[in-house]
Amino acid sequence: MGLGARGAPPGPNPPAEPPPAPPPEAPPPRGPRPAPRAAPPPPPPPAGGAPRSAFRAEGASDGTFRRVDAARLAPRIRALLDGFATHLVVGLPGTDLATVRAHVGEFLDETLGPA
């Protein structure tokens, strides 16, 4: 039995061709880059009344609300709501909308209610 042209024994299948090379990547675009988008304007103050800061100040001065540091309180409220939202979405046993509303209401009453 003889060897084939490439030194391999002849067989029923010829040697496989290498796969074609992938196409070359496109060159990066030339020219100036587009300018970044400007940030959207801030939302207007709430309609039909004083701005929120005046509302809070008035409520604190007449005893409706406790004086709090809003910058410290806001992340706590967001975390509380986010945590309960996750429990509701995944269906954690014992967590329903009425229970969540009761917990959030209690937290806000304790945190913002009169001293």
In the prediction, which pLDDT does 32 show? 75
Range with top average pLDDT, 14-18, 20-24, 60-64: 20-24
Task: Tell me the per-residue pLDDT of 30-54, one tens digit each, with 9 for 90 and over.
Answer: 777 777 777 777 766 656 555 666 6
CB atoms within 10 A of CB 6: 6
Task: Tell me the per-residue pLDDT of 55-109, one tens digit each, with 9 for 90 and over.
Answer: 666 766 777 778 888 889 889 999 999 999 999 999 999 889 999 999 999 998 8
In the prediction, which pLDDT does 48 show? 56
Encoded tokens for 24: 């070359």
Question: What is each CA distance from 110 to 12, 40, 44, 71, 115, in whole angstroms?
Answer: 85, 36, 30, 17, 9
